[in-house]
Amino acid sequence: GQPVRLSDYRVPDYLVDAVALDISLDRTATRVRSTLRLRPNPEGVAGAPLDLDGDELVATALRLDGAALDLALATPDRLTIAAPPAGPFVLEVETVIDPTANTKLMGLYRSGSAYCTQCEAEGFRRITYYLDRPDVLSVFTTRIEAERDDAPVLLGNGNPVEAGAVEGTGRHYAVWHDPHPKPSYLFAVVSGRLDALRGEFTTSEGRRVALAIWVEPGKVGQAGYALDALKRSMRWDEDAFGRAYDLDVFNVVAVSDFNMGAMENKGLNVFNDKYVLASPELATDADYAGIETVIAHEYFHNWTGNRITCRDWFQLSLKEGLTVFRDQEFSADQRSRPVKRIADVRVLRARQFAEDGGPMAHSVRPDSYSEINNFYTATIYEKGAEIIRMVRTLVGPDAFARGLQHYFDRFDGTAATVEDFLGCFAEASGRDLAPFFRWYVQAGTPRVTARTHHDAATRTLTLDLAQDTAPTPGQGEKLPFVVPLRFGLVLPDGAEQPVRTGEDDGLSDAELANDTIELATATRRIRFEDVEPGTIPSLLRDFSAPVRLVTDATDADLLTLMTHDTDAFNRWDAAQTVLSRLIIARVRDGGGDPEALRTVFAAVVRTGRHDPAFAAQVLALPSEGELAREIGRDVDPDAVHAAREAVRGAVGRMLAAEFRAVIAEGAAAGPYAPDAAGAGRRAFRNAALSLLAAGDPALGAAQARAQFDGADNMTDRVAALAVLSLIPGEAREAAFAAFYERHAAEPLVIDKWFALQASIPERSTVDRVRRLLGHPAFTLGVPNRVYALLGAFGANPTEFNRPDGAGYDLVADAVVTLDGRNPQVAARLLGAFRSWRLLEPGRRALAEAALKRIAAGPDLSADVREITSRSLG
Ligand code: B3K
Ligand code: ZN
């Protein structure tokens, strides 16, 4: 349809004081009776028509203040009442919907043996006609009725108030009341045959909350970690942010058919089961970490999203950026803070920088969209979180805490904007944040360049900083951003050089106190005084701003930082930069010899003994995607892959003895526990195994097979399989077959099996994937399965980008087929094309042709149409 624009925002003309829903569940004909208490909004247009949203709805009864209305007022996507009463009135609407036929997984649908709902962003209108926009808040009471045998469990939002049998039938009902006014996107019901793992939590305010994690029958044994993560999240939100839970129950439901990760419905979070179910035999350390993060994220939404929601969908980052920031802080507190930061920045660079550098670039607060579901992006989420982290850096932790408290006090119970949010920090800090606001409205990743000049005679170090941001679609000119650069000066022996600047070109007292340079103009010169010769600036510590930093640091400088910097993030980043330079040199002219890194890498392996998680992050080389972006144009993914593998192989041979020792020691580690320390040890050992195998495939295969056979946990087993998957031959196929046989009954594990095969960097992979599309375990109906096979293939740098275009065609065919069934999933697969303009001309032409072929198809969904047209635009 037509794009929606922020500048067109108007307050609603009607308000809903209360909603009473009566939902009578049936697999193909669910009847929904909705009673809305409406009144004109005094701030809206008097006498305006009442326009309720619908989507594929069929109305079977309509009444206004008790009098029947003509059903012709309702079309599938709209219910219009031209001249409603001037005062409060009651509208009753009955619709009949078919949850079994709902393949879009928006609105009410079936998953496994359950009924469930997904309403964000615009799914409620697929259940009943409504003012389906986030700034219409109402109090919901929901009666759910179902066949007792079919659906013994009946869950709704809020607190349970009543339940019982429907006399003379096999049906029963439950009534739920949610006292907290909420927008319709937070509505949910779940019913079916489900088992619960129960727990309890007493809030700091003394409220006893009944907790339950609902799973398919037989899976309660896999819900323990999620329940534990939930309790830790509830406690942490009280300790860190003073936020206590506000209902008597908190339910989490795991379903196996879900478009995204999870959903924060009030008091009734619905999850993709991938973010709930775990046991050591079935889930990896990364899966456990993902569960902890997503459980926390959805729980934290109770305050940032639910109690305070968004005025309109342009403000999506108000809840998502802030909630990501909160879940990142939580995980940092639960695990290693520096390692968490490194992992988060890896994700940001891989996904958000790619988005910002491609055709889908958009600002954190976009000003228009066609399909809002396309805007649940790394930019809204991860860059949004970085903006909040920068606010904290700029105003300092105390003003940040006051500003946030202010936000909770002032906007509780309302639908707010990004301006409302930032205003709280301006007030708390006394700082003008207007220039900073550009981070919300300008898209693109700023590039910050730093040039240094030492003057031995005057013992000064001059630092010349400059920033520029390339144009993005629809935004040709960029104004300078306010870039907080945390920094320090590192002496050649690793000691920290005290910072002194003079009158001219100096730093402000606040900057000095915060160890932060605020770069707010296109260029800035800073002169440091009393500087020892050879001092190296360590800039952007802890990745204090989402920018691409280009420095004139030599490899020797970087190796010094890598060894000595007090900032762990920059120690890691220095290593990444050295490695990236080395690999790119190889891509360009076959040069780049890792021998120069022998000493420092041997040292990294030694530090792995006491900080294995950090060492593992260093040993994971920059990804092929990152290298491609660094190269910037005319990229040949085969050349990037070959160069990266050559460097991995050289590192593997150079440190073979060290890696073998690491592997041997790790084998003696005790029983599996999914904690950060154990995860770090496994990550280190598996990084060593991967590099060893890159250097000596025969030895690597033998070691990997031994680990594959002997592992007592999924982390080590799947890591071994990943190593084997890179070594062509019978051993690999045998391992895949054994893995399938062992785990055929566990869908989440079979997803790993599909994904690993789709990731093999060999020309035969396209055929393998086409074959797997016909595998009995494959279905286009389950999003996780689609993401496992086709999503992983789309992320396979060499095979998706095959020089003959067969990879593009495979994904394009899948997008076209899926679009008719589930447009959100189809649109997400299209993300594979996000960096097509970086490619060399041959591949670029083929990718463009594939996109055009999709775009030319009949009956495209709004989701896919928007992405193809932006990608081609
Ligand atoms: N708010 C949901 C995402 C809904 C996506 C709708 N297409 C999950 C989350 O961010 O917590
Ligand atoms: Zn969220």
Q: What are 418-464's pLDDT values in tens digits?
A: 999 999 999 999 999 999 999 999 999 999 999 999 999 999 999 99
Q: What is the pLDDT of residues 232-248, one digit of tens each?
A: 999 999 999 999 999 99
What pLDDT is recorded for position 670?
81
For range 74-88, the mean pLDDT: 98
Residue 596 is predicted with a pLDDT of 86
Residue 585 CA to ligand 2 center (angstroms) comes to 40
Report residue 666 as tokens: 């790790």
**Quick one: which atom of ligand 1 is closest to the CA of 381?**
10
| Residue 668: band (very low, low, confident or very high) from pLDDT cuts 50, 70, 90 | low
The SS3 of residue 40 is strand
Q: Rounded distance, CA 528 to CA 519, Å?
A: 16
CATH code for the part of the protein at 447-545? 2.60.40.1840
Q: How far apart are CA 479 and CA 697, in angstroms?
A: 51
Give the single-character DSSP code of 623: P
- Cβ atoms 28, 101 nearer than 8 A: yes
Mutate to test the pocket of ligand 1, among 126, 233, 255, 264 (most ligand atoms within 8 A of CB): 264
- Whether 595 is catalytic: no
Ligand 1: atom nearest CA of 262 is 8
Q: Where are the beta strands (DSSP E) in 544-630?
A: 548-551
Residue 121 in contact with ligand 1 by CB distance below 6 A: yes
Tokens of 768: 């393998």
> Best mutation site among 299, 316, 319, 320 for ligand 1, i.e. most ligand atoms within 8 A of its Cβ?
320
Q: How is domain 4-193 classified at the architecture level of CATH? A: Sandwich (2.60)
Q: Is the CB of 320 under 6 A from ligand 1?
A: yes
Comparing 44 with 667, the larger pLDDT belongs to 44
Q: What angle, rounded to 10 degrees, do the helices at 676-695 and 285-300 form? A: 140
The pair phi, psi for residue 668, each rounded to 5°, is -85, 0
Using a 6 Å cutoff on CB, does residue 264 contact ligand 1? yes
750 lines ligand 1 (CB under 6 A): no
What is the distance between the alpha carbons of residues 847 and 635, in angstroms, rounded to a whole number?
Answer: 13
Residue 399 has pLDDT above 80, yes or no: yes
Contact 201, 234 (CB under 8 A): yes
pLDDT at site 600: 87
Sorted by where each begins, the domain ranges of the chain are: 4-193, 309-441, 447-545
Location of structure tokens 């209305």: 69
CA distance to 110, 278, 286, 739, 830, per residue, from 746 (Å) = 20, 11, 17, 11, 27
CA of 381 to the centre of ligand 1 (A): 10
3-class secondary-structure state, position 765: helix
Q: Is the CB of residue 641 less than 8 Å from the CB of residue 803?
A: no
Kindly calculate the radius of gyration of the chain based on its CA atoms and give it in whole angstroms: 28
Q: Are strands 78-81 and 89-97 parallel, antiparallel or unpaired?
A: unpaired
DSSP secondary structure code for residue 839 in this structure? B
Backbone angles phi, psi at 370, to 5 degrees: -95, -45
Report the chain's terminal Cα–Cα distance, integer Å.
Answer: 17
Q: Could you tell me if 473 and 361 are in contact, meaning their C-beta atoms sit under 8 angstroms apart?
A: yes
- β pairing state of 447-455 and 415-416: unpaired
* Distance, CA of 121 to CA of 372 (rounded, Å): 7
The helix or strand, by DSSP H or E, that contains position 455, with its residue range, turns out to be strand 447-455
Q: For 161-179, write each residue's pLDDT tens digit.
A: 999 999 999 999 999 999 9
DSSP string, 291-357: HHHHHHHHHHTTTBTTTBEESSGGGHHHHHHHHHHHHHHHHHHHS-HHHHHHHHHHHIIIIIIHHHT
What share of residues in the chain are helix, strand, coil (percent, to 5)? Answer: 45, 20, 30
Contact 115, 189 (CB under 8 A): yes
Side-chain half-sphere of 236: how many Cα atoms within 13 Å? Answer: 22
316, amino acid identity: L
Residues near 61 by beta carbon (within 8 Å), at least 6 away in sequence: 33, 68, 71, 92, 93, 94
Q: Is 187 buried (19+), middle (13-18) or exposed (0-12) by CB count in 10 A?
A: buried
What beta strand segments (E) does 384-441 contain? Answer: 415-416
The sign one gets for the Cα dihedral 454, 597, 546, 330 is negative
Instruction: Kindly report the protein residue whose alpha carbon is nearest to atom 10 of ligand 1.
Output: 320
Under CATH, to which class is 309-441 assigned?
mainly alpha
What does the pLDDT look like over 576-613, one tens digit per residue?
Answer: 999 999 999 999 988 878 898 899 899 999 999 999 99
617 pLDDT more than 80: yes
Q: Does any ligand 1 atom lie closer than 6 A to the CB of residue 800? A: no
Q: What is the spatial distance between Cα 117 and Cα 648, in angstroms, rounded to a whole number?
A: 46
Task: Note the pLDDT tens digit of each residue in 807-823.
Answer: 999 999 999 999 999 99
DSSP assignment of 363-382 equals -SS-SEES-GGGG-SHIIII
Whether residue 373 has its Cβ less than 6 Å from ligand 1? yes
**C-alpha of residue 275 to centroid of ligand 2, in Å:** 13
Q: How confident is the model at residue 691 (pLDDT cuts 50, 70, 90)?
A: very high
Q: What is the mean pLDDT of residues 247-254?
A: 98
**503 pLDDT above the threshold of 90:** no
C-alpha 185 to ligand 1 mean position (Å): 10
Nearest partner of 417 among 378, 364, 379, judged by Cα: 364
Q: What pLDDT score does 593 carry?
A: 83
Torsional class of 56: left (φ above 0), alpha (ψ -120 to 50), beta (otherwise): left
Distance 118 CA to ligand 2 centre (A): 14
What is the residue with the minimal CA distance to atom 3 of ligand 1?
Answer: 263
863 lines ligand 1 (CB under 6 A): no
Distance separating alpha carbons of residues 721 and 739, to the nearest angstrom: 9
- Take atom 9 of ligand 1 and give the residue whose Cα is closest: 263
What distance in angstroms lies between residue 311's CA and the mean position of ligand 1's atoms? 16
Q: Do domains 4-193 and 447-545 have the same CATH topology?
A: yes
CA of 296 to the centre of ligand 2 (A): 10
The pLDDT of residue 683 is above 80:
yes
DSSP state letters, 425-440? HHHHHT---TGGGHHH
117 lines ligand 1 (CB under 6 A): no
- Is there a contact between 616 and 662 (Cβ–Cβ < 8 Å)? no
- Give mean pLDDT, residues 95-105: 98
Amino acid found at 747: P
Both tokens of residue 174?
């439950």
- Of 122, 264, 292, 298, which is the active-site residue? 298
- Collect all residues with Cβ–Cβ distance below 8 Å to 710 and sequence separation of at least 6: none
Residue 322 CA to residue 388 CA, distance in Å, equals 7
Per the CB < 8 A criterion, the answer to whether 405 and 427 are in contact is no
Does residue 375 line the site of ligand 1, with CB under 6 A? Answer: no
ipTM value > 0.85: yes
Residue 669, pLDDT > 80, answer: no
For 260, the token pair is 């995204």
Tell me which residue of 62, 67, 58, 63 sits closest to 28, measured CA to CA: 58
Determine contact, residues 858/652, Cβ cutoff 8 Å: no
In this prediction the pTM is 0.99
327 lines ligand 1 (CB under 6 A): no
The ligand whose atoms approach the alpha carbon of 269 most closely is: 1
| Whether residue 131 has its Cβ less than 6 Å from ligand 1 | no
Contact 85, 79 (CB under 8 A): no
* Under 8 Å between Cβ of 95 and 127: yes
- Report CA(517)–ligand 1 centroid distance (Å): 35
Task: Output phi, psi for 663, to 5 deg.
Answer: -65, -45
Q: How far apart are CA 322 and CA 337, in angstroms?
A: 18
Contacts (Cβ under 8 Å, ≥6 apart) of 771: none
- CA 389, CA 405: separation in Å to the nearest integer? 16
Per-residue H/E/C for 581-601: HHHHHHHHHCCCCHHHHHHHH
Closest by Cα among 308, 343, 286 to 716: 286
pLDDT over 80 (residue 134): yes
Mutate to test the pocket of ligand 1, among 119, 124, 260 (most ligand atoms within 8 A of CB): 260
Vertex 375: Cα angle to 313 and 784 (nearest 5): 125
Contacts of 111 (CB under 8 A, 6+ apart): 105, 255, 256, 257, 258
